[in-house]
Amino acid sequence: MTIKTKKDRPAKLAGHTYCLTTGCGEIFVTINNDDDGPFEVFLRLGKAGGCSACTSEAVGRMASLAFRLGGTPRHVIKQLSGISCHQPAGIGDHKVLSCADAVATAVRMHTETEK
């Protein structure tokens, strides 16, 4: 990945919101696109506060920064997939290991629906 100048945020973007179940509860991952693809990521973790909420916000900000600097969905997915916390949720292909893993899953789903 070549580091580029951070893109400015347009006044209006469109995207999708994905709801996934994590060990911390439901997480809503909103991914907005610009003309080049994913641009920013917002996370809302149910009614949680404290460390879970601030960590989720940090993961969303860092994923957004990666996209705004030229990173691809593949880069974000690779970095966040498989990160595990003490309380995973689901089984098999639907298992979500952590809130960060949920973001990777949402980015993967978003990329697949955009094709």
Q: What is the pTM of this model?
A: 0.88
pLDDT at site 68? 96
Quick check: is 48 in a domain?
Answer: yes
**CATH code: domain of residue 28:** 3.30.390
Give the integer Cα–Cα distance in Å for 40 and 49: 22
Quick check: is 4 in a domain?
Answer: no
Quick check: is 38 in a domain?
Answer: yes
Domain containing residue 22 = 14-114
Structure tokens at 112: 């697949």
Q: What pLDDT band is residue 46 in, cutting at 50, 70 and 90? A: confident
CA dist 89 to 22, 49, 51, 84, Å? 5, 19, 18, 10
Total number of domains constituting the chain? 1
Quick check: is 26 in a domain?
Answer: yes
Quick check: is 9 in a domain?
Answer: no
pLDDT at site 1? 56
Give the integer Cα–Cα distance in Å for 18 and 4: 28
Quick check: is 8 in a domain?
Answer: no
The mean per-residue pLDDT over the stretch 35-41 comes to: 96
Quick check: is 24 in a domain?
Answer: yes
Note the pLDDT tens digit of each residue in 59-109. 999 999 999 999 999 999 999 999 999 989 998 888 999 999 999 999 999
The mean per-residue pLDDT over the stretch 24-43 comes to: 95
